[in-house]
Amino acid sequence: MQQVKEVAVIDGVRTPFIRSNGAFENLASHDLGRLATQGLLKKSGIARDLIEQVVMGTVISDPKAPNMAREVLLGNSLPPVASAFTVSMACISSNIAVGLAFDQMSLSRYKVAISGGAETLSDFPIRHSKKIRKALIKLQKAKGPVDYLNEVKKLSIKDLIPDVPSVTEFSTGLTMGASCERLAKRIGVTREEADQFSLSSHQRASQAWEAGEYEGEVCSISLAPEFKTIERDNGPRGDSSLESMAKLSTSFDRNFGQITAANSSFLSDGGAAVLLMEKEYAAEQGFLAKAIIKDYITAGTEPLDDLLLGPSLAITKLLEKNHLCIKDIGVWEIHEAFASQMVANLKVMDSKTLSKNIFNIDAIGEIPMDQLNIFGGSLALGHPFGATGARLVMTAASRLAKSGSRYSVVSGCAAGGHGLAMLLENPNM
Amino acid sequence: MTTPDHTILKIEVIDEIAIIRINNPGEKVNTLNETFLNEIESSMEFVNKAPEVKGAVFISTKENCFMAGADVKILQDADTIEKGEEIPRRGQRAFQSIEDCKKPVVAAIHGVCLGGGVEMALGCHYLIATDHPKTVLACPEILLGLFPAGGAPQRLPPRVGIQKALDLMLTGRNIRSKQAKKIGMIDQVVSHWGLQETSMSVCKKLISGELEHKNKTSSTAEKLLEGNPAGRAILFNQARAMIKKKTRGLYPAPFALINAVETGINKGKPAGYEREIKEFGVLTQSTQAKSLISLFFGNTNLKKNSRGKPEKKDSTLAVIGAGQMGAGIGLVSLLKGKEVILKDVNNEGLGRGKKVIWDELNRRCKKRAINSFERDRLMAKLGAQTDLKQFDRVDFVIEAVFEDIDLKHKVIAQLEEVCAEDCIIATNTSAIPIAEVASKAARPENIVGMHYFSPVNKMPLLEVIGHEKNSEQAIARAVQMGLDQGKTVIVVKDSPGFYTTRVLAALMDESILLLQEGIDFKKLDNLMKDFGFPVGPVTLFDEVGIDTAAHISDFLSQRIGSKLRNVKDPILNKLSEKGLYGRKSKKGFFLYEDRPTGLASKMFKPKGKEINPEALEIIQQYSLKNSSTCTDNEIIQMRLAYRFINEALRCMDEGVLLSPVDGDIGAVLGLGFPPMLGGPFHYIDSIGHAHFKKNMAMLEDKFGERFEVSPILNDHLERGKLFHPEVDEGA
């Protein structure tokens, strides 16, 4: 059997994450992926012809560019002989994109890859109704006006109502917010806890920006025709307060809910890309590794009641498999879909009874808040679905390189009932 | 203040709110009894008096059960009108104490909430119920020949309007929380997670005045009809007319309910409550209620596996033959979580079977009982094949091929070759003895009979037939399969026609004789409907299929001989030769037209069925008009019913039936014997065995030896025995 290769995270760059229908509203997902990759190429200084593979994640596939990764590759003038593929796993799409690139590289399929993801939530495909679509397809074969009329006759005004992509879970019909409300009640998360968590995320993100923590990680963008420079995420609101957050009305459960605009991640546009290299090859080429990818695990959960608890299951399994405990991890990056979901996951992982009752696993304990998402998370930075996972990986890698810790865990939850957890190791330890 | 010392309603005060937890100790479900009612009152007294308590919440600690209603045994013990009146009087007082509580009381409903549970909740000031699929509300008292008399007739109409209140209480149907909220029966739908916290926050809001119960505003149509005395008078009259038409006046309870609602609305609540008590008291002593309660207990008993829980769990079921019956069996199994394989000789047959299943699942989907994802998930558990590949992993096979003994032998031989040694092979037949079906089998111990009724998803009965060589486990597994499919299961001894087919054949035999004597088809149907059967015998022939009936009648007349008429019935065979099969061929005794669809169905109302002149002609060829023309309606009803009942007695005598309860349940659930008579055994217990014997003697004298009374009755008369000892003779 061939030797399994070690894979290093060399660098990562993302575009600013911008609230949807803002400055990036005219960009497609592949544009955002291309911009992030452009930033990565520039920052890392890697020669284009070294890139052998591009793996990208996205949630809402653009029908014009379904293999978005290929357009990113070609759009950045990467070698056409290199190949590219796009994956989708809801909000952990770019986590699994990085994971798959890691898998292939450890099997020596290639030595250098760019992985990441991008999403625009300003512009998603809204389709004609099924009847109109059927008619339009038949009309392509219409011979003469009689055929044409016959098809058109079958349609009614009602058929003009467009088919907007559903925001509900396909199997259960519940919105993610409604699922999270159920989860909060089940685990016993209070509105105060959720607001406090969200406030802290916003404050941390603002402070991180002030302290220059995101310098280098976020590339500045200027777009035609005005070419105004966009340098920063526009999500973080460091000046908000618990009092102002408490005033907001709830979005999903009017009477007994706790989820508001202020304690949920919001729709955003953005792209993110990380440079992965076989560890030995990186050393040969003179690249410094920020982190080594040790392992990752995916876990499925029951979509009605456990939809957003994927991280609890995945993280616990990952630690168990690698014989690690919570103390061994110094850097945590977990995707914040909703503050209530984060608090619920933290409670489940810390509670023997909950861990046992829900997943029949042992609780791992309390994740220290001063190690978790210390530069803010999706609640403050925003959540362009396909880009978030790669953002977590690059932030974790940077934090790990600067910290004295040996391990980092990156995790996230996803629609459909999924969790993914990835283990990174500090190459200097 | 210390909380009262209770056994069922334990009170804990948290944050100024009394959490009253409902928990009948040692029981699976909560039921209303004397202690419960006393504790409701003392709880309310505590809530009123304790200065530190500002409000209260009723919540259950049982899994998926708020309250299953009153303990039905209490009804059995009430043997006089006065004792019957005491039941609602006591309940009303307790529920009134909730309503009269000076502090807000919330009902936090999760799981089933039935009968008295609904009435107790209606006494509360604010009702919340969870969106969990197990949460259903219903007032099913009407199904026991009674009506909700603990205040619901007074409290429900202001919440949901008179028409919807009547509908809920007259049908006893289940209603889910979302629908209940929509019509105003409850105030809020909430998640079952954190129900206690939610109910406390509701209670706090009620205390602070942020929230209050508001009756749903009625629609304009409702206002027009219900908002004035004249409109209401029309409404109540129409309701009574409709009930009369539907029940043919055989059931008093619906009228009692309408009286109670009407009195409350016209004369005020106190008069309404009093009317509830009076009407309920009388109903408790009615034969209808006694019969229905007896059936309730019988049915409850038969929902448990009489042969004990089998050692093996059967999760994969194969059905041979994808016709109506096979597809129906597949459907009920799929719905209850089984993995199902349909097998038929060709893809066309399989396609028809799949369509039957899909149509029903899709209907549920359109009714929003399930979502389209759930429908597709169920369809994905349905396999369809024309061969027997992979049958070695099947736990249980039911063959539903044509009722032909050679075909059944062939199918069983093929199955035994591929199936695992412990696989049960059940044969779905309505008449052929199982010992004969199993006679050539390599493993006869695994061959059992399962007699399903069509349409399988609507008919609640399953008759399981064991034969002498069966293993005890095989029968236990067959019973369990039926229970898993949601059926009420009776186990009978192997013999031609078993129980249900045999008694039905007796009734059908007498019907043909009556037709030969010249009685009008429709008149005969109507007479039996007046007696309480859901359909008349002539229509029943058309529904069952005249060819099938001819087949069974020939078979049984050979096997049972003199008890039925000992001649091959010429009429059924003649009809069937001419292709008059009944509804399936669009002509039988009656003519059937395709139901118009779309716009046409709105423009043309369907006409009543018309008699098929062809059928009439055949009957007239075999006319018996001159022998003994029977014109007395009561005698006609008696001839039909008594042949039915006497055949049931013979089944008991010969040991085909193991208990009179099986006989009663089988007749009511399988054959539509009038439920308000409680089944053949309950019925003759209540009219008196001597009375029955005397009538039989009269019929035998007039119409011949087929009315010879079963020997078991003589035996009973000698020993003064009853079939159901708890029923008072002559009551």
Residues A53 and A7: beta-carbon distance below 8 Å: no
Q: Please give, rounded to a whole number of angstroms, the shortest distance from the CA of B213 to a CA of chain A.
A: 14
Q: Please give, rounded to a whole number of angstroms, the shortest distance from the CA of A21 to a CA of chain B.
A: 32
Instruction: Give the pLDDT band (50/70/90) at residue B597.
Output: low
What pLDDT score was predicted for residue A152?
A: 83
pLDDT per residue as tens digits for the range B537-552:
999 999 888 998 888 8
Q: Please give, rounded to a whole number of angstroms, the shortest distance from the CA of B689 to a CA of chain A.
A: 58
Q: Please give, rounded to a whole number of angstroms, the shortest distance from the CA of B198 to a CA of chain A.
A: 7
Q: Which two tokens stand for residue B373?
A: 């994802």
- The predicted model scores a pTM of 0.88
Q: Please give, rounded to a whole number of angstroms, the shortest distance from the CA of A267 to a CA of chain B.
A: 26
Nearest-CA neighbor of B415 among B426, B406, B404, B405? B426
Q: Which two tokens stand for residue B85?
A: 């009146």
pLDDT per residue as tens digits for the range B43-72:
999 999 999 999 999 999 999 999 999 888
Of B198, B371, B373, the CB nearest to A256: B198
Of A171, A186, A255, the CB nearest to B194: A186
Q: How far apart are CA A214 and CA B355, in angstroms?
A: 60
Say which CATH number the domain at A351 has: 3.40.47.10
Catalytic position from the list B463, B510, B517, B647: B463
Of B191, B202, B373, the CB nearest to A181: B191
What pLDDT score was predicted for residue B630?
A: 67
> Which residues of chain A lie closer than 8 angstroms to B188, CB-CB?
255
CB contact under 8 A, A185 and B373: no
CB contact under 8 A, B194 and A183: no
Give the contacts of A396 (CB within 8 A, at least 6 positions apart).
A291, A331, A333, A408, A409, A410, A424
- A419-428, B254-263, B459-468, B549-558: segment of lowest average pLDDT: B549-558
Mutate to test the interface with B, among A249, A256, A258 (most CBs of B within 10 A): A256
CB contact under 8 A, A171 and B190: no
What pLDDT score was predicted for residue A126?
A: 87
Query: Helices A339-350 and A310-321, interaxial angle, to 10°?
Result: 40
Chain-centre distance of CA B190, in angstroms?
A: 31
Q: Please give, rounded to a whole number of angstroms, the shortest distance from the CA of A185 to a CA of chain B.
A: 5
Region A146-150: mean pLDDT is 84
Of A170, A172, A188, the CB nearest to B194: A188
Q: Which two tokens stand for residue B518?
A: 């010249």
- Written in H, E and C, the secondary structure of A157-217 is HHHHCCECCCCECCCCCCEHHHHHHHHHHHHCCCHHHHHHHHHHHHHHHHHHHHCCCCECC
What's the first-to-final CA gap in chain B, in angstroms?
51
A256: nearest CA partner in chain B: B198
Q: Is the dihedral of CA B394, B395, B399, B405 positive or negative?
A: positive
In a domain, A166, yes or no: no
> Which residues of chain A lie closer than 8 angstroms to B131, CB-CB?
none
Parallel/antiparallel/unpaired status of strands A229-230 and B9-14 = unpaired
Parallel/antiparallel/unpaired status of strands B17-22 and B9-14 = antiparallel
pLDDT at residue A332 greater than cutoff 60: yes
Residue A360 falls in which region: left (phi positive, over 0), alpha (psi -120 to 50) or beta? left
Q: What distances in angstroms separate CA A347 from CA A76, A165, A371, one per listed residue?
A: 44, 33, 16
Burial of A47 (0-12, 13-18, 19+ CB in 10 A): exposed
Q: Please give, rounded to a whole number of angstroms, the shortest distance from the CA of B108 to a CA of chain A.
A: 14
Stated as kind and residue range, the H or E segment containing B120 is helix B116-123
Q: Which two tokens stand for residue B409?
A: 């032998």
Q: Which two tokens stand for residue B197?
A: 């916290």
CB contact under 8 A, B371 and A185: no
What pLDDT score was predicted for residue B368?
A: 83
Q: How far apart are CA B244 and CA B233, in angstroms?
A: 16
Range of the domain at A346: 176-213+294-425
What pLDDT score was predicted for residue A156?
A: 87
pLDDT per residue as tens digits for the range B477-526:
999 999 999 999 999 999 999 999 999 999 998 999 999 888 999 999 99
**Angle at the Cα of A245 (from A242 to A251), degrees rounded to 5?**
145
Parallel/antiparallel/unpaired status of strands B188-190 and B126-130 = parallel
> Which residues of chain B lie closer than 8 angstroms to A173, CB-CB?
371, 373
Q: How far apart are CA B396 and CA B422, in angstroms?
A: 9
In a domain, A346, yes or no: yes
Q: How far apart are CA B313 and CA B622, in angstroms?
A: 54
What pLDDT score was predicted for residue B728?
A: 44
Place of tokens 């056409």: A80
What pLDDT score was predicted for residue A148?
A: 83
pLDDT at residue B731 greater than cutoff 60: no
pLDDT per residue as tens digits for the range A296-322:
999 999 999 999 999 999 999 999 999
In a domain, A82, yes or no: no
> Which residues of chain A lie closer than 8 angstroms to B193, CB-CB?
182-183, 185-186, 305
B375: nearest CA partner in chain A: A171
> Which residues of chain B lie closer than 8 angstroms to A179, CB-CB?
none
Residues B170 and B142: beta-carbon distance below 8 Å: yes
The strand pairing partners of B603, in sequence order, are: none
> Which residues of chain A lie closer than 8 angstroms to B191, CB-CB?
181-182, 185-186, 253, 256
Residues B322 and B361: beta-carbon distance below 8 Å: no
Residue B323 has a CB neighbour count (10 Å cut-off) of 17
Q: How far apart are CA B179 and CA B185, in angstroms?
A: 9
In a domain, A20, yes or no: no
Q: How far apart are CA B106 and CA B64, in angstroms?
A: 18
What percent of chain A stands above pLDDT 90?
85
**Interface residues of chain B, partner chain A, Cβ below 8 Å:** 188, 190-191, 193-194, 197-198, 201-202, 371, 373
CB contact under 8 A, A186 and B193: yes
Mutate to test the interface with B, among A166, A169, A179, A185 (most CBs of B within 10 A): A185
Region B447-462: mean pLDDT is 95
Of B198, B371, B373, the CB nearest to A185: B198
In a domain, A6, yes or no: no
In a domain, A187, yes or no: yes
Q: How far apart are CA B606 and CA B342, in angstroms?
A: 36
Instruction: Give the pLDDT band (50/70/90) at residue B599.
Output: low
Stated as kind and residue range, the H or E segment containing A412 is strand A407-414
Q: Is the dihedral of CA B673, B675, B681, B683 positive or negative?
A: negative
Q: Please give, rounded to a whole number of angstroms, the shortest distance from the CA of B590 to a CA of chain A.
A: 40
Cis status, amide bond into A16, omega within 30 of 0: no
What pLDDT score was predicted for residue B730?
A: 37
Mutate to test the interface with A, among B57, B128, B193 (most CBs of A within 10 A): B193
Please provide the average confidence, as pLDDT, over all residues in chain B: 92
What pLDDT score was predicted for residue B563?
A: 60
Parallel/antiparallel/unpaired status of strands A418-425 and A291-300 = antiparallel
CB contact under 8 A, B191 and A188: no
Question: What is the tally of helices (H) and strands (E) in chain B?
Answer: 32, 20
In a domain, A417, yes or no: yes
B202: nearest CA partner in chain A: A256
Nearest-CA neighbor of A16 among A223, A291, A275? A223
Would you report the helix, strand and coil content of chain A in percent, each value rounded to 5? 40, 20, 40
DSSP state of B597: -
Place of tokens 């190791």: A425
CB contact under 8 A, A256 and B193: no
Region B273-297: mean pLDDT is 96
pLDDT at residue B415 greater than cutoff 70: yes
Please provide the average confidence, as pLDDT, over all residues in chain A: 95
Strand ranges (E), A108-155: 112-119
pLDDT at residue A139 greater than cutoff 50: yes
Q: Which two tokens stand for residue B555?
A: 């078979």
Stated as kind and residue range, the H or E segment containing B685 is helix B680-687
Structurally, chain A folds into a number of domains equal to 1
Q: Which two tokens stand for residue B400?
A: 């539903």
pLDDT at residue B606 greater than cutoff 70: no
pLDDT per residue as tens digits for the range B122-151:
999 999 999 999 999 999 999 999 999 999
Query: Helices B680-687 and B633-653, interaxial angle, to 10°?
Result: 110
pLDDT per residue as tens digits for the range B206-242:
999 999 998 888 788 888 888 888 999 999 999 999 9
Place of tokens 């759009």: A75
Give the contacts of B69 (CB within 8 A, at least 6 positions apart).
B31, B32, B114, B115, B116, B117, B140
Instruction: Give the pLDDT band (50/70/90) at residue B609.
Output: confident
Instruction: Give the pLDDT band (50/70/90) at residue B457.
Output: very high
CB contact under 8 A, B201 and A172: no
Burial of A23 (0-12, 13-18, 19+ CB in 10 A): middle
Higher model confidence: residue A120 or residue B602?
A: A120
Of A173, A182, A185, the CB nearest to B197: A185
Place of tokens 């219900």: B226
> Which residues of chain B lie closer than 8 angstroms to A172, CB-CB?
371, 373
What percent of chain B stands above pLDDT 90?
80
Region A396-405: mean pLDDT is 94
DSSP state of A382: -
> Which residues of chain A lie closer than 8 angstroms to B373, CB-CB?
170-173
Q: Which two tokens stand for residue B56?
A: 């209260």
**Interface residues of chain A, partner chain B, Cβ below 8 Å:** 170-173, 181-186, 188, 253, 255-256, 305
> Which residues of chain B lie closer than 8 angstroms to A171, CB-CB?
373
pLDDT per residue as tens digits for the range A205-261:
999 999 999 999 999 999 988 899 999 999 999 999 999 999 999 999 888 899 999
Question: What is the tally of helices (H) and strands (E) in chain A?
Answer: 14, 12
Nearest-CA neighbor of B499 among B612, B605, B648? B648
Residues of A with catalytic function: 91, 413
CB contact under 8 A, B197 and A183: no
pLDDT at residue B636 greater than cutoff 80: yes
Mutate to test the interface with B, among A255, A357, A358 (most CBs of B within 10 A): A255
Instruction: Give the pLDDT band (50/70/90) at residue B600.
Output: low
What pLDDT score was predicted for residue B596?
A: 60
Region B447-466: mean pLDDT is 95
In a domain, A106, yes or no: no
pLDDT at residue A26 greater than cutoff 50: yes
pLDDT per residue as tens digits for the range B84-108:
999 999 999 999 999 999 999 999 9
Instruction: Give the pLDDT band (50/70/90) at residue B729.
Output: very low
What's the first-to-final CA gap in chain A, in angstroms?
29
Q: Which two tokens stand for residue B270?
A: 């106190």
